[in-house]
Structure 1
Amino acid sequence: MFEEASEVFDNMFKSSFPLTFIVFIPAVLILVSPLPAEAAHEFTVYRMQQYDLQGQPYGTRNAILNTEARTVEAEVLSRRCVIMRLADFSYDKYQKALRQSAGAVVITLPKNMSAMPQDIVQQFMELEPEMLATETIVPVYFAMEDDELLSIYTQTLTSSSSQGTLSAAEVLLHTATANGFQMVTSGAQSKAISDWAITSLEGRLAGVGGEDLPTIVMVAHYDSFGVAPWLSYGADSNGSGVSMLLELARLFSKLYTYKRTHAGYNLLFFVSGGGKFNYQGTKRWLEDNLDHTDSSLLQDNVAFVLCLDTLGNGDSMHLHVSKPPKEGTPQYSLLKELEMVVSSQYPEVKFSMVHKKINLADDMLAWEHERFGIRRLPAFTLSHLPSHRLAQRYSIMDVRSVSPSSRHGAGEPPAGPHVDVKKLSRNTKVVAEALARVIYNLTEKGAPGDLQIFTEQMV
């Protein structure tokens, strides 16, 4: 169902605005063994985010690493590289390393995340924003575990734990004379960029029947986000939203090809950048279209803006609004058509409207539709998440899927957020059918709620 729809995107543009950001290049960490017979082991590490947004610094401020390895069980962590496994990670242990001025922190992640208990994954997702908000000069890296790295961790853990039985004098002597694994970063270092260019895509399908046609705008931001950029896949948030938008563009481009089904609505598709950074790409796009041009579809008759965000799983769909739509408006029509399609065709789905006012005092907006609401455009966001605060929107744990055979229990869901392709396909069908009913005014024409526009022949 999800085919490429690039043919409908006839406009591309780049916009730039002040945003200090760091370009991250995966570094190579070299572990040098104290034993002559042991060879050095190299493995890739991924640095924690570092950026400044609206004058507020986030993440680690340093990248250089050349120090001896320890685990958090050691008595003395100062100027040591502290290795932590995700399975044993806690914020208290992490803070202990920072308080003792560790030389660096390396957090190792299992290759098979689905093997991790759900509570550990959930705890780490909730801690990621706190880790980023705690500005530190201690370099923080992440690495994927392999057999050699696990062996090094086990040896380091044994050495670190034994220090707990030593006297204070023995600990100092051991610290001065011990020959542990030396951890050294090599390769290109990260460079700061103060003027980051954000690329967004815009495409449109022109309606037929007059000049002042209403316009429906469909929006999805394409960014992924997590504590480490190179490990941030953003499969559900917001790869699922972009996939849905592209599929909607493909489906409606077919309808708009034929004279009989060419509707009296303009359809505007917008894939935005900078979504995870307070929707900066959308902000600039609105400024370009509303403040810096004499003619724009956004300045004319906008029926509504539908933002698609995190729709790749779950049996719930929530329409997040800043103002409840008034009866008789196109926004109200979409709300009712979504309710009708769900109740008539997909009764397993629970649909609801969530009302939350825009809080301009907050540093970060909750949903993308609030960018449009600030400019007095009628907008809402559709998501399977009931709240914008859920940690999976900003996590390196947001991956596409895992195979059933890799799950740690029969019938159990995989740990962490993931994308269920069947549910993403179903949710796309719900949105497509509801939009079609609005565009072709099917309810007022007496069409039954279970009428399907996008049949097998259509898709």
Structure 2
Amino acid sequence: MWLCGADEVVEMFKSSFPLSFLFFVPVLILISPVSPAAAAHEFAVFRMQQYDLQGSSYGCRNSLVNVEARAIEAQMYTRRCVITKLQDLAMDKYREIVSQNAGALLVLLPQNLTELPNIVKEHLLELEQDLMQEETPLPVYFATETPQLLDIYADVKTSMNSDQAGSAAEALLHAASANGFQMVVAGAQSKALGDFQLVNIQGKLTGSGIEEQLPTVAIVAHYDAYGVAPMLAKGADSNGSGVVALLELARLFSKLYTNSRTHAKFNLLFLLSAGGKLNYMGTKRWIEDQLDSSESSLLTDVSYVMCLDSLGAGENLYLHVSKPPRDGVAGDVLLGNLREVMGQFYPDAKFEMVHKKINLADEYLSWEHERFSIRRLPAFTLSHHSTHKAPLRKSVLDVRDSVDKNVLSRNVKIIAESLARHIFNLSHDTDFEVFADSLKVEPQTIGSWLDYISSQPRPAQSLGKTSPLVATLQQALAKLLKDVQLHMVKADKRDPEFVFYSGLEYVMNAYNVKPAVFDLFLALGIAAYLGIIYFLVQVGTTCH
């Protein structure tokens, strides 16, 4: 007859409802194992490259995400956000994720990329190249590992996946009991930046004499960086080291040109070019404007163009040319000077000229000097890379720790001494050092510039005319050179050679949620509970 005793309990709840209900709700929340503070997480994510170049599209074309998370070990990815660590992502798995119409991909990168094992670095370098071969509709994001993200990753990975359940009943029970994460990237969809302008920065040192009648030597370095995720691309070596080398050469020769006794009869032209990683688009337009201009061109009487690319590592130095210079021309003289300086001051280092013809059928040019060679201007590139295919030239692994300021200082010294021997027509058998004592190369200055330039991402799409980095470089050249100008490059609206897109960095939210089927079980539980209460009330009434 215990059912009749339930009458007293029912009467107690009836007399104090809803106050009794409000009393029990906070108690249930307090004893609940779920922490409300841990139910939502927020972290920064960096979207994969997205741009159009010469009619071809590259990178991911979407940015918004609102799907449930899945580990890469899952069997089904459809409308799911796949979370994986870098070392677990292979191209065959990536293609499977895309083919199953996944909702998004989130790749977790280690905090310190320089401390990765070599095998993982090689994997990342190959992955970056493969990912950027074509466009994909899949939103692809990268994030740096944090304790919070690793906890989310562990929860997603270790929880049993209903996709792998042995039976339908097992899958249903798992769906009701498992915790999941809803990954959300809100905001505006990425869109084309129609009015974006690339910025070339040029300046010069005028030689002694009538400027228009003097030969010119041009020194060029592109200043943007590239990686699979634009906002992770620091480009310390390629081409931060080239930019720093150009700035140091401008400082050294500006000192010489301020003294009438050391004022050479050569014009020195310095160009920091934009869009170098995007087939040297800034250089291309700058050359066109110079050569096709009705006014006098800075390239009218150019002896050669010296391009600087990746000079901050390695023991060797390579001179890349599209066509070897003829005997006796200015380029051949400089080539001889480079060999002599290397042999005299750095005999243990190797110097070599690498000849590679331009293949116009290739989608991308190999080196910056090829933009000048196409227009029949004598040009070459100095680099410590023996080939243009070095994957580190376009990688998020190219960070500050990959550059040695002493190696860069050595290479600047070699270039400066070789150039000085040419423009001052010094004897070939001399061992005289032009840049010594008060004119010496300053490793501390070089190190400071390297720290600054590699401390921030430098994708081409973030280096517009309002960029603080562009303003800093312009001011630095203005202190050393004359007639420093900005040369703006804007894509043709009718047939744009390049198109950039917004949405380089987003905030992703991870919400700890139950799956949709849990609502069904909850509704059944509530119905059962109400049924029991109704039954108890009916029994209590009968007992009376």
TM range (shorter): 0.7 to 0.9
Q: Where does residue 222 of structure 2 map in the other structure? A: 221
Which letter does structure 2 place at the counterpart of 1:55? Answer: G
Q: Where does residue 56 of structure 1 map in the other structure? A: 56
Q: 1:311 to 1:160 in 2, by over 3 A?
A: farther
Q: 1:35 to 1:135 in 2, by over 3 A?
A: farther
Q: Specify which of 403, 407, 417 is matched with residue 433 of structure 1.
A: 417
Deviation at 1:121, TM superposition (A): 1.1
1:294-309 aligned at under 5 Å gives the runs: 294-299=295-300, 301-309=301-309
Deviation at 1:89, TM superposition (A): 2.4
Q: Equivalents in 2 of 1:103, 1:177: separation in Å? A: 23
Q: Where does residue 159 of structure 1 map in the other structure? A: 159
The secondary structure found in structure 2 opposite 1:385 is coil
- Asked if structure 1 preserves the Cα contact closer than 8 Å seen for 2:67 and 2:182, the reply is yes
Q: Equivalents in 1 of 2:116, 2:436: separation in Å? A: 40
- Asked if structure 1 preserves the Cα contact closer than 8 Å seen for 2:320 and 2:356, the reply is yes
Which letter does structure 2 place at the counterpart of 1:39? Answer: A
Q: Specify which of 433, 441, 452 is matched with residue 452 of structure 1.
A: 433
- Asked if structure 1 preserves the Cα contact closer than 8 Å seen for 2:160 and 2:174, the reply is no
Q: Equivalents in 2 of 1:431, 1:175: separation in Å? A: 66
Q: 1:306 to 1:75 in 2, by over 3 A?
A: same
Higher RCO (C-alpha under 8 Å, 6+ residues apart):
2
Deviation at 1:232, TM superposition (A): 0.5
Q: Equivalents in 2 of 1:357, 1:170: separation in Å? A: 64
Q: 1:176 to 1:302 in 2, by over 3 A?
A: farther
Q: Equivalents in 2 of 1:169, 1:305: separation in Å? A: 72
Q: Where does residue 16 of structure 1 map in the other structure? A: none
The reply on whether 1:128 has 2:128 as its aligned counterpart is yes
Deviation at 1:175, TM superposition (A): 6.3
Q: Specify which of 408, 419, 433 is matched with residue 424 of structure 1.
A: 408
- Asked if structure 1 preserves the Cα contact closer than 8 Å seen for 2:65 and 2:103, the reply is yes
- Asked if structure 2 preserves the Cα contact closer than 8 Å seen for 1:87 and 1:116, the reply is no
Q: Where does residue 83 of structure 1 map in the other structure? A: 83
The reply on whether 1:382 has 2:382 as its aligned counterpart is yes
Q: Where does residue 280 of structure 1 map in the other structure? A: 281
Deviation at 1:447, TM superposition (A): 2.1
Q: Where does residue 142 of structure 1 map in the other structure? A: 142
Q: Equivalents in 1 of 2:172, 2:215: separation in Å? A: 75
The reply on whether 1:315 has 2:315 as its aligned counterpart is yes
Work out the number of aligned pairs and report it.
Answer: 406
- Asked if structure 1 preserves the Cα contact closer than 8 Å seen for 2:114 and 2:397, the reply is no
Q: Where does residue 248 of structure 2 map in the other structure? A: 247
The secondary structure found in structure 2 opposite 1:133 is coil
Which letter does structure 2 place at the counterpart of 1:431? Answer: I
Q: Equivalents in 2 of 1:380, 1:160: separation in Å? A: 58
| CA RMSD, 1 decimal | 1.9
1:32-57 Cα offsets, whole Å, 9 max, x none, are xx945433111000000111111101
1:345-364 aligned at under 5 Å gives the runs: 345-364=345-364
Deviation at 1:139, TM superposition (A): 0.4
Q: Equivalents in 1 of 2:118, 2:49: separation in Å? A: 24
With the length of structure 2 as denominator, give the TM-score of the two structures: 0.72
Question: Identity over aligned residues, as a percent?
Answer: 55
Q: Where does residue 339 of structure 2 map in the other structure? A: 339
- Asked if structure 1 preserves the Cα contact closer than 8 Å seen for 2:304 and 2:330, the reply is yes
1:232-283 Cα offsets, whole Å, 9 max, x none, are 1111110000000011001000000001000011000000001111111111
Which of 44-53 and 92-101 deviates more?
Answer: 92-101
Deviant stretches of 4+, over 6 Å: none
The secondary structure found in structure 1 opposite 2:271 is strand
Deviation at 1:198, TM superposition (A): 0.6
1:319-366 Cα offsets, whole Å, 9 max, x none, are 000001111011001111111111110122211000000111111111
The secondary structure found in structure 1 opposite 2:371 is helix
1:365-408 Cα offsets, whole Å, 9 max, x none, are 1100000001110000000001111111111111011xxxxxxx
Deviation at 1:103, TM superposition (A): 0.6
Q: Where does residue 426 of structure 2 map in the other structure? A: 442
Q: Equivalents in 2 of 1:254, 1:273: separation in Å? A: 27
Which letter does structure 2 place at the counterpart of 1:456? Answer: D
Q: Where does residue 366 of structure 1 map in the other structure? A: 366
The secondary structure found in structure 2 opposite 1:435 is helix
With the length of structure 1 as denominator, give the TM-score of the two structures: 0.85
The secondary structure found in structure 1 opposite 2:304 is strand
Q: 1:35 to 1:258 in 2, by over 3 A?
A: same
Q: Where does residue 92 of structure 2 map in the other structure? A: 92
Q: Where does residue 25 of structure 1 map in the other structure? A: none
Deviation at 1:163, TM superposition (A): 4.9
Deviation at 1:295, TM superposition (A): 0.3
- Asked if structure 1 preserves the Cα contact closer than 8 Å seen for 2:217 and 2:303, the reply is yes
Deviation at 1:122, TM superposition (A): 1.5
